[in-house]
Amino acid sequence: MTGQALDFWTHLLRLPGFVVVHCEDNADQRRYGFTVVPEHRIGVCPHCQEVSDKVHQTRNRESIKDLPISHYAVDLTVRVPQFACERCGCTFTPPIPFLVEGAHATERFLERSAALIRSSDVANAAAFYGVPERTLGTWYYDYLQRRQPAGDRPPQPIRRIGIDELSLKKNIGSSSP
């Protein structure tokens, strides 16, 4: 595929910081397969905050579901570089903001699926997107937990205790002669 066509797909997919390097058009299965790579091969070490461009290894995250284009399903292969920090010696993989950890789907795919599930149900949304019902159900409930407002989260352990100054003054006043 020409560079101009790949630029078109990069612009259409709008995956921040990533560019399309390969497009597979499978008309028989009504599916597009895209391979995307980081626009810049650089990362910031989470331990020492040093910038690194030394790639230790590259892995592929395959079969990532994204929103369909027309009547074609979209599967992404995302090449993820793992960097080696020369300063502290650790290896790290920078986070990819559009990918969901623990799911083979993009964040926008799950947002749209959740909207469809709210107006219908998991079975219909799974059939619409061509995803197994149980898989979409698991992704949906994980998505809801991640999106839960801070006020609705379960209580956390107490980390700091304040002193009630009025009670302190009352105790001091009553104990003095």
Looking at residue 132, its pLDDT comes to 94
Rounded to an integer, the average pLDDT of 79-106 is: 88
Looking at residue 151, its pLDDT comes to 59
Closest CA to 78 of 91, 65, 92: 65
CA distance 116 to 86: 46
CA distance 70 to 108: 16
What integer best gives the mean pLDDT of the chain?
A: 85
Rounded to an integer, the average pLDDT of 15-34 is: 92
Low-confidence winner among 25-29, 33-37, 72-76 (lowest mean pLDDT): 25-29
Looking at residue 101, its pLDDT comes to 82
Looking at residue 93, its pLDDT comes to 86
Give 111-164 pLDDT, tens digit per residue. Answer: 999 999 999 999 999 999 999 999 999 999 999 888 877 556 666 676 666 666
pLDDT > 70? residue 166: no
Give 145-158 pLDDT, tens digit per residue. Answer: 888 775 566 666 76
CA distance 155 to 169: 31
Cβ 75 vs Cβ 30: under 8 Å: no
Which carries the bigger pLDDT value, residue 97 or residue 66? 66
Give the 3-state secondary structure of residue 10: helix
Can you name the CATH fold of 100-151? Arc Repressor Mutant, subunit A (1.10.10)
Cβ 143 vs Cβ 135: under 8 Å: no
